[in-house]
Amino acid sequence: MSQEKIPYKIYLDEKEIPRNWYNVRADMKNKPAPLLNPATHEPMKPEELAPVFCEELIAQEFDNDTRYFPIPEEILNFYKVYRPSPLVRAYFLEEKLGTPAKIYYKFEGNNTSGSHKLNSSVAQAYYAKKQGLKGVTTETGAGQWGTALSMACAYFGLDCKVYMVKVSYEQKPFRREVMRTYGASVTPSPSMETEVGKKILAEHPGTTGSLGCAISEAVEKAVTTEGYRYVLGSVLNQVLLHQSVIGLETKIALDKYGVKPDIIIGCAGGGSNLGGLIAPFMGEKLRGEADYRIIAVEPASCPSFTRGKYAYDFCDTGMVCPLAKMYTLGSDFIPAPNHAGGLRYHGMSPILSQLYADGYMEAVSVGQTSVFEAAELFARVEGILPAPESSHAIRATIDEALKCKETGEEKTIVFGLTGTGYFDLVAYEKFHDGKMTDYVPTDEELQTYFNKLPKIY
């Protein structure tokens, strides 16, 4: 039987960009748990969120039933600038590993923001503009989300106010300057611009900030400034909805060559790229039409799925945001300074949390040094310099491919290569100089954070 050789890159035509986002919640029997009001512990009502989020995004957040959401023309036009993204067959990596496994990766790093986050930032900026707002506020840790949002705001002519964790602001001046190039204002957090910032600075003078604190500042700024709303780059249901474009494109490309994956792998910080990549495949699995092994990969230093608790928790340190039921390490868990900034969040998407609790997916955690070993091997054979976050997925893929080598199984593995690592060279430097650490929290340490979880059953 002759089979057409699968090309190195499967490119789709512009016309093949999906016209709808897919909402996996529509196919879930057990829906993700509702957000709770942090004061009353009652399910949050859409109108209670109106001062914080844009109207259409709130509607998407609460909609557990609509299967497809049409992608507005304006967003599709922006997608055309950098989508469809390529699905690459990792022939060189397969050869290097000597594995019979067939490896593919969906590459989301070929836009200036350098990651998949642009898929959701452009949607969120569009709905803010459509509502007639002046601008949006957000927080950024390592800077990827802030960069993606500033690009989207520049496109739609919206003001963009970013609170950047102070230590990153000082250590990552290049990301900061990319944001300013796109017109965003970037404030190191904690700042004197907000009440919560002033309070934290009074209590902890000289603090270098945290993501949780920057979220609290961004939310306060949004609700106290006329014509502004707050936007978030991961975790929320709406973000997973927008990111479904990744998985839908992947499926179209694989279907063209009649390829069915056995294993789908993605790194998990707040869960948005993984949720997006797996969406249509998970849909088939939920409807009983197909079966796939789905693996979330997280850092051993921030192991929400593998060692966290499935419980209601705060999404921010300031405890102003709604409570979400998710796998969590506790809202004031501070992970060891690990170099995959995008994977350092204490919680996890409520959608993925429910799917994991119901046994539809697996999770593994990997150590930092082994992640950079995988990153370096990948860069040398496949050419792309991967982001440290993405390299978690590379590590797990290599491990699965090596198992295939032992057993001789020709499994097909698809993984998400979420971004590039040009702004992460300090981390690569530490790795090359042998100065990288592999801190893993102890059970006792984690327990101190679990003890502080809100008591909601």
Ligand X SMILES: *Cc1c(COP(=O)(O)O)cnc(C)c1O
Where on the chain is the footprint of ligand X (CB under 6 A)?
115, 117, 144, 234, 267-273, 342-343, 387, 389-390, 418-419
Closest CB to ligand X among residues 300, 404: 300
The set of residues, in sequence order, having a beta carbon less than 8 Å from that of 12 and lying 6+ positions away, is 84, 249, 252, 253
The set of residues, in sequence order, having a beta carbon less than 8 Å from that of 14 and lying 6+ positions away, is 80, 84
Shortest distance, CB of residue 289 to ligand X, whole angstroms?
26
Residue 366 phi/psi, 5-degree rounding, is: -130, 150
Shortest distance, CB of residue 306 to ligand X, whole angstroms?
15
Closest C-alpha to 156, from 226, 75, 71: 75
Shortest distance, CB of residue 437 to ligand X, whole angstroms?
21
Closest CB to ligand X among residues 38, 143: 143
Closest CB to ligand X among residues 99, 397: 397
Shortest distance, CB of residue 118 to ligand X, whole angstroms?
10
Closest CB to ligand X among residues 32, 197: 32
Asked if omega into 86 is within 30° of 0 (cis), the reply is no
* DSSP string over 383-452: ---B-HHHHHHHHHHHHHHHHHHHHT---EEEEEE-BB-GGGHHHHHHHHTT--------HHHHHHHHTT
Closest CB to ligand X among residues 35, 196: 35
Shortest distance, CB of residue 81 to ligand X, whole angstroms?
19
Closest CB to ligand X among residues 318, 416: 416
How far the first Cα of the chain sits from its last, in Å, is 58
Shortest distance, CB of residue 64 to ligand X, whole angstroms?
20
Closest CB to ligand X among residues 270, 280: 270
Q: Strand 362-366 relative to strand 293-299: parallel, antiparallel, unpaired? A: parallel
- In the numeric block, the tokens 């929320």 are attached to 236
Q: Strand 228-230 relative to strand 309-314: parallel, antiparallel, unpaired? A: unpaired
The string over 308-324, giving b where at least 16 C-beta atoms fall within 10 Å of a residue's C-beta and e elsewhere, is bbbbbbbbbbbbbbbbb
Shortest distance, CB of residue 261 to ligand X, whole angstroms?
19
